[in-house]
Amino acid sequence: MVDVVVDRVTKRFGEVEANKDVKLTIPTGEFVVLLGPTGAGKSTLLRLIAGLEKPDEGRISFDGADVTRAPPAQRNVSVVFQQYSLYPHLSVFDNLAFPLRSPAHRVPEADIRKRVEEVARLVRIDHKLANSATRLSGGEMQRVAIGRALVRRPAIYLMDEPLSSLDAKLRAELRVEIKNIQANLGATVLYVTHDQVEALTMASRIGIFEQGRLVQVGTPREIYEQPANLYVAARLGMPAINLLPHDLLPADRMPGNTVTVGARTEHIDLVSATDGPAEVELVEYLGSEIYLHLRLGRYKLVTLVPPGRRWQAGERARVTLRSPLCFNAAGKLLAA
Amino acid sequence: MAEIDLQKVQKHFGDFTAVRESSFTIRDGEFFVLLGPSGCGKTTTLRMIAGLELPTHGKILLDGEDVTYKRASERDIGFVFQLFALYPHMKVRENIAFPLKCQSVKRAEIKRRVEEVAKLLHIEHLLDRSVSGLSGGDSQRVALGRALVRRAKACMMDEPLGALDAEFRHLMCVELHALHQRIRATTVYVTHDQTEAMSMANRIAVMNHGVVVQIGSPQDIYDRPAAMHVAGFIGNPPMNFLSFRSRVTAGQDRVQLNGDPVRVPTLLEASPETALTLGVRPEHVSLVSDGELRGEIFGLEYMGTMQVATIDTKHGRLKARIPASQRVSVGENVALRLDSERLVVFDTASGIALKSQLFEEQARG
């Protein structure tokens, strides 16, 4: 495993700047997740690190060695894509063994067997090693694809939306599994997704992409609790952060140059009051929690409430904010 | 709008039983969700109500009238499918108006009703646009509009949001829910997504292997699951299951979980020694300094407002929803407390919940 350093990288496709002056260091053993909407530039950065694209400007190095112009095969990376491209004519075992059998590596057959069996157990496909790769469910195919990346010990694992095509239950299981496998192996991972749950739950650090720029890099807690700007604030949080004008609700603390207030559930105090300015529009019961949709004049506010207390549509409430996030006219976070 | 009554309905395809004898009533104005994994019979049930499949046995009443063998076109039912199937060469207005044109409704009346529906769905500004340039959400709103404009007796929706990504799907759920609160159309909605079902339904029918396992309000089904299938299908993360063997007697309020005594709602039925499962929701597990169970943290998933801890115990792996502010780390040995009033004991072989005080609360309402 090595440190991967991306230094001031720019990549253009015709007129479009897919990556603009991107700087990112991925130390050994880190799980870095790039989060952003489609077209924000996160997959481009992954492909630049893989060597599938060449940057127009800047430098990429692995452990100090410049690999900016090196072909993918010389970089020692493993890639997992959303579309599991397994070899349909091979068994699960042979699919997993494939990277080890490449002439570039020359691994003895006994070692291959041991390694494949170990990885198959890890991704829980060991009971189907003899199956043909085409006779698997979607989830099983993706586990084989992830396993195929894991049989090697590359400098870095690059994963581009590997769970996006799976159903919710399997996705939730594999999230924990991948994270645990990564921690056990001490593997370095760069993971691309548009799913904030994957980013929050798996990353040791998250990088938020906006239109080709990496706008903030930090631990999930840092990004969630101290988003650098409104764009970042809106990327994370379930329900989404409420962005409101500064003078709409009373708050205990607010710098003078605040223009927009960001209020998450943990910033909102709600008291039922017949003369309150907020009206409950919708009570969305989700089992472990309730999404309460409130209307405040022309603004909406969504917050979580515990299932113990029954709110009713039409009920009125008073809302106060406790240490909300405050943003200036440029949308930048103001220090508390 | 109308009530839909299914009486002993069954559907076989050759040797395969898609739907086993099912009887239930969908109330007038209700948002009724058929929920289950693929192949559970939910879509077949919807298609029988709609008249797209004929039941092998049983009767279907729509507004009191036996429609079992009537064609779909004679049933006065509107439809929305996952693939919005709009007419690409027509404008939004023409797409919505189409069902009314087929019924030879007068021009002025069509205009009035299309505009009324468009207003309801907040797409008035799109009426004269071509459907080809619309976003996924707007296309789905147009498809909804086309189903609603007929003012059919009932509206059938088969995974209408299945093609949308998670966050947007949730937004559309909120919109559909609000829409239903305004128009109160009898709606039958098929999905495999428990969040959609919980978020929108007045009542949910959970199906598995062609059988309706439980029918109830989202909260009933969540708090008092009648079977392991229901408990494990609903919730995010779903209910945890811890296996043990024991004999239980009625009146007992404690079980021996492989040697660890755990308080449970007073059991109202007995069982000889057999394989049992203790069901506990992740939000009813707390990490404390001193609790009845111990475990080691296998994984932590920070979610902002809260975090989910995956914990290995000697009874099996379980998940706990705990405050994001609670500082714990992977590998740490922790004590667990279970919320004794909310636990369910299941018979493992049948998967059915043993009757207990918990289920009595439901009877009292």
Does the beta-carbon distance from A195 to B219 stay under 8 Å? no
Q: What pLDDT, on a 0 to 100 scale, did the predictor assign at position B125?
A: 92
**CATH homologous superfamily for B238-364?**
Nucleic acid-binding proteins (2.40.50.140)
- Percent of all residues in chain B with a pLDDT value above 90, rounded to a whole number: 68
Does the beta-carbon distance from B304 to A236 stay under 8 Å? yes
Residue B310: closest C-alpha in chain A: A176
Q: What pLDDT, on a 0 to 100 scale, did the predictor assign at position B346?
A: 98
A52–chain B nearest CA distance, Å: 28
pTM score above 0.90:
no
Does the beta-carbon distance from B302 to A201 stay under 8 Å? yes
Instruction: Tell me which residue in A237, A288, A289 faces B304 most closely, judged by beta carbons.
Output: A237
- Residue A186 reports pLDDT greater than 70: yes
A289–chain B nearest CA distance, Å: 9
Integer Cα distance of B58 and B20 in angstroms: 10
- Residue A156 reports pLDDT greater than 80: yes
What does the CA dihedral A48, A52, A53, A58 come to, rounded to 10 degrees?
A: 40
The neighbouring-strand residues paired with B295 are B313, B334
Does the beta-carbon distance from A286 to B236 stay under 8 Å? yes
Integer Cα distance of B44 and B10 in angstroms: 10
**Segment A9-58, tens digit of pLDDT:** 999 999 999 999 999 999 999 999 999 988 899 999 999 999 999 999 99
Q: Residues of A with CB below 8 A from B195's CB?
A: 286
Q: At what angle do helices A138-150 and A92-101 cross, to 10 degrees?
A: 20
Q: What pLDDT, on a 0 to 100 scale, did the predictor assign at position B12?
A: 95
Integer Cα distance of A206 and A30 in angstroms: 11
**Segment B89-113, tens digit of pLDDT:** 899 999 999 989 888 889 999 999 9
Residue A305: closest C-alpha in chain B: B305
Residues of chain B with pLDDT under 70: 1, 82-84, 163, 362-365
Instruction: Tell me which residue in B195, B238, B304 faces A224 most closely, judged by beta carbons.
Output: B304
Does the beta-carbon distance from B282 to A197 stay under 8 Å? no
Mean pLDDT of the region A82-104: 87
More confident residue, B361 or A188: A188
* Chain B residues with at least one Cβ partner in A under 8 Å: 165-167, 173-174, 177-178, 181, 192-193, 195, 198-199, 218-219, 222, 234-238, 281-283, 298-299, 301-305, 308, 310, 321, 324, 330
Q: What pLDDT, on a 0 to 100 scale, did the predictor assign at position A174?
A: 83
Does the beta-carbon distance from A288 to B282 stay under 8 Å? yes
Instruction: Tell me which residue in A180, A287, A304 faces B305 most closely, judged by beta carbons.
Output: A304
Is the CA virtual torsion B15, B17, B21, B27 positive or negative? negative
**Domain architecture of chain A: domains with CATH:** 4-234 (3.40.50.300), 238-327 (2.40.50.140)
Q: What pLDDT, on a 0 to 100 scale, did the predictor assign at position B365?
A: 45
Q: Residues of A with CB below 8 A from B308's CB?
A: 201
Question: Where is A294: in which H helix or E strand?
Answer: strand A290-296
- Residue A124 reports pLDDT greater than 90: no
Q: Residues of B with CB below 8 A from A201's CB?
A: 301-303, 308
Name the residue with tokens 């699960």: A92
Question: Where is B242: in which H helix or E strand?
Answer: strand B240-248
Picking from B52, B46, B33, the residue whose alpha carbon sits closest to that of residue B6 is: B46
Q: Are A136 and A92 in contact (CB under 8 A)?
A: yes
Q: What pLDDT, on a 0 to 100 scale, did the predictor assign at position A141?
A: 86
Phi, psi of A104, deg, nearest 5: -70, -20
B283–chain A nearest CA distance, Å: 7
Q: What pLDDT, on a 0 to 100 scale, did the predictor assign at position A53?
A: 94
* Lowest mean pLDDT segment, chosen from A63-77, A79-93, B295-309, B327-341: A79-93
- Percent of all residues in chain A with a pLDDT value above 70, rounded to a whole number: 99
* Lowest mean pLDDT segment, chosen from A74-83, A231-240, B270-279: A74-83
Cβ count within 10 A of residue A336:
11
* Chain A residues with at least one Cβ partner in B under 8 Å: 167-169, 172, 175-176, 179-180, 183, 194-197, 200-202, 220-221, 224, 236-238, 240, 264-266, 281-282, 284-289, 291, 293, 304, 307, 313
Picking from A208, A174, A180, A203, the residue whose alpha carbon sits closest to that of residue A190 is: A203
ipTM of the complex: 0.80
* 3-state SS, residue B167: helix
Candidate CATH numbers 3.60.15.10, 3.10.580.10, 3.40.50.150, 3.40.50.300; the one for domain B4-228: 3.40.50.300
Tokens of B174: 């909120």
Does the beta-carbon distance from B181 to A293 stay under 8 Å? no
Strand pairing class (A16-26; A4-13): antiparallel
B285–chain A nearest CA distance, Å: 12
B307–chain A nearest CA distance, Å: 8
Mean pLDDT of the region A170-189: 86
Domain residue ranges in chain B: 4-228, 238-364
Residue A282: closest C-alpha in chain B: B178
Question: Where is A76: in which H helix or E strand?
Answer: none
Q: Are B34 and B219 in contact (CB under 8 A)?
A: no
Tokens of B99: 């069902």
Integer Cα distance of A304 and A266 in angstroms: 9
Instruction: Tell me which residue in B222, B234, B302 faces A220 most closely, judged by beta carbons.
Output: B302
- Residue A263 reports pLDDT greater than 50: yes
